[in-house]
Structure 1
Amino acid sequence: MIDAIAAILVFLGSAMTVAAGIGVLRLPDVFTRMHAATKVGTLGSGLIMAGTALHFADPAIVLRCILVVFFLLLTAPIGAHMIGRASLRLGITPWTQNSDDETR
């Protein structure tokens, strides 16, 4: 039963990570790409680490998985914030087109 839960967690994490990659490729500007990379990428990595910790159930591996998730949660928002500030200082403007504007 634990292996099935671990497999589901790893699958969901992989799906989230793929969604983050698609978001980085498809979204229109640096700010929305940054959002996809940090939010969904961190969630996907966290789910994969949770599945890994459940599968192996060794205290050393569980501790490493917790530390990886903690490091990701600590560094991803800071990195995204710094990228956003640098983009604004370089003069990159956020994308403002609404879906209603396409029909006019």
Structure 2
Amino acid sequence: MNHLDQIHPAIAVVIAAFVLIGTVLTLLGTVGLLRLGSFYERLHAPTLGVSWGTAGILIGSVLMYSTLGSRPVIHELFLGIMMMVTAPVTLMVLGRAALHRDRAEGRPPAGSDAPGHPLKRGTER
């Protein structure tokens, strides 16, 4: 007999849905990281994938172990909070560092390819 046999089928479907949603979001973040072109475009997809993907998987895990243990399992919520806070902040710092580097090297930042933009090459005054 398996300990998973103790989970009610309706709760197992909810747990599976959360884990599936979290896995798909994490996979989409990874695909976005690989497929998008510039460094700045690549920052957005992993942030959402890690944050919401981790949240879905952790909610499923909390539901499963709370159901099996007949007590709320909240220590995993700390992991989720840390992932939701640290991943976006880390990628924001990386983006700002890349923007600082681009400005120091005289390259136009992302979204500045409009004609006449002061940082566009060939249009410096």
Large movers: runs of 4+ above 3 Å: none
Name the counterpart of 1:35: 44
Q: Which has the higher contact order (CA 8 A, sep 6+)?
A: 1
Name the Cα RMSD after superposition. Answer: 1.9
Q: Please tell me whether Structure 1 or Structure 2 has the larger radius of gyration of its CA atoms.
A: 2
Higher helix share: 1
**In the aligned structure 2, how far is the partner of 1:4 from the partner of 1:77?**
30
Gaps of 5+ in 1: 98-104
Q: What is the CA-CA distance between 1:90 and the residue it aligns to?
A: 1.3
Q: What is the CA-CA distance between 1:40 and the residue it aligns to?
A: 2.4
Q: Which moved more, 1:32-41 or 1:22-31?
A: 32-41
**In the aligned structure 2, how far is the partner of 1:48 from the partner of 1:68?**
11
Name the counterpart of 1:54: 63
Name the counterpart of 1:94: 110
What's the TM-score once normalised by structure 2's chain length? 0.69
What's the TM-score once normalised by structure 1's chain length? 0.82
**In the aligned structure 2, how far is the partner of 1:33 from the partner of 1:76?**
14
**In the aligned structure 2, how far is the partner of 1:16 from the partner of 1:96?**
30
